[in-house]
Every structure is written in structure tokens, then in C-alpha cells.
Amino acid sequence: MRLSPDEMIFWQHGFLKLNGTIVFTWALMFVLTAGSKLVTRKLSTGMKRSRWQNLLEIIVTGIEQQIAEVGLRHPQTYVGFLGTLFLFVAISTLGTVIPGFEPPTGSLSTTAALALCVLVAVPFYGIEEQGLGGYLKSYVEPTVIMLPFNIISELSRTLALAVRLFGNMMSGTMILAILLTITPFIFPIAMSMLGLLTGMVQAYIFSILAAVYIASATRARKPKPKQAAPAEA
């Protein structure tokens, strides 16, 4: 009973191992990059455009709109990072319809890596927006006593991101594997459709949570307005 694609070894040379997670991640990277390159070879700004360009525009503007709704100003700066997170997890889930493909997000290594990217990106964007002092001061809000709790909440958010995505993906593939040994055709298909749905929802959740964390780090702290002195009567 395979718990994750880490255990599928394709090639081994002493210490270096080429396991399923790495190979499927490379395949995803290749598909996403080559596909985008092919579609954006001849971009047109007129009314006549290819349907693939249309599809990509729908996806990119949709992601930008969601980022703006979360409350981030200038969504164009974040659409690269957050869009990549969403697309990677989404295409990795959609790829399960291809027989033989194991989603690389079903391995704790991949999801931990993605969560660590978010952990690094939050201070990066926070310092870029507010400066180092401004960002570090946000850790001691509302009082200095909250400093350890704020730090712990940062780390536990990262852990929760990683385990949530890993648990959802692993449970989907494991339920499918178990059902295939028990029941005939129809029930595993229903469960794989459920797996696709939860995978897409988890992709959306991952990127929206990353956007919310970045938004809370880049929120401008407005200084409290001074009370106007009462005018002399």
C-alpha cells in the first residue's frame, strides 16, 4: 500500500534517487512551461485571438480578480507567485485522469516545499511593502507579550498549509486505490470525481490562504488620527 509517490523509484545511483515525486513534478513543469510558451508565441490584442490565448486570459484575469478581492493592492505583483501556486496544485490534481500519473502533491515533500515558499514570501512581500522596521513592528502588535504567539502562529500556519494539502491529496489517491481492490467499475469512478473536486477546492484554498497571509503582512498600518483640539468658543 503505497503512501506517496516518494516510494516509486525510477532510477537509483547510490545516494541519488529519482522517485515518482520528482519525475511527476518535472513532467508538470514541462507541460505548464511548454504549453504556455506555445500559446503565447503569437499574442494578439485585437478581436481575433486563438482559443488557447482566450483560455489563458480567462485564467489570469480570474486569478487577478480573486487577488484583488482578498484586499491586495496592485494584484499584478502577486499574480506570478499566487497564480503559480494555484496552477501547480490544480494541474497536478487534474492530471490524475491520466492513468499512471500520481499527483506530486500527494507527497509531504512537495506540499512542505510549497508551504515553505509561502513562509518565505510573506516576509518578503511584507518588507517590500512596509520596510523592514514596519514589518517587524507588526509582530509586536497589539502588545509585546503577543510576540511569541505571533511567531508560533506563523509557523503553525505553514504546517497547516502543508498537512492540509498533503492529507487531501493522499486520502484521494488512497481511497481510490483501496476501492479499486474491492468494488467494480462505478464506485471508484465516483470517488475519483470527488477526488478531482476536492483537489480543485484545495488548490483554490491554498492560493487564497497564501493571498490572505500576504495581505495581512502588507496591510498599511494607518496611524491613529489625532483628536482635534476643541476650538475656543
Partner 1 sequence: MDSMTLIAIASIVTAGLTIALGSIGPALGEGRAVATALSSLAQQPDAAATITRTLFVGLAMIESIAIYCFVVSMILIFANPFWNHVIAQATGK
CA dist 52 and 47 (Å) reads: 14
Q: Which of residues 102-161 bind partner 1 (CB under 8 A)?
A: 160
Contact pick of 69, 71, 97, 116 for partner 1 (by CB under 8 A)? 69
The one-letter code for the residue type at 178 is I
Closer of 3 and 55 to partner 1 (Cβ): 3
The one-letter code for the residue type at 142 is P
# residues contacting partner 1 (CB under 8 A): 20
> E strand or H helix at 196, and its extent?
helix 186-218
Minimum CB separation of residue 159 from partner 1 in Å reads 10
Write b or e for each residue in 76-112: b if 16 or more Cβ atoms lie within 10 A of its Cβ, otherwise e: eebbebbbebbbbbbebbebbeeeebbbbbbbbbbbb
Contact string (CB under 8 A) for partner 1, positions 205-224, x = contact: x--xx--x------------
Contact string (CB under 8 A) for partner 1, positions 153-172, x = contact: -------x--xx-xxx-xx-
Any contact of residue 8 with partner 1 (CB under 8 A)?
Answer: no
Closer of 11 and 149 to partner 1 (Cβ): 149
Residue 192, all three cell numbers: 475519483
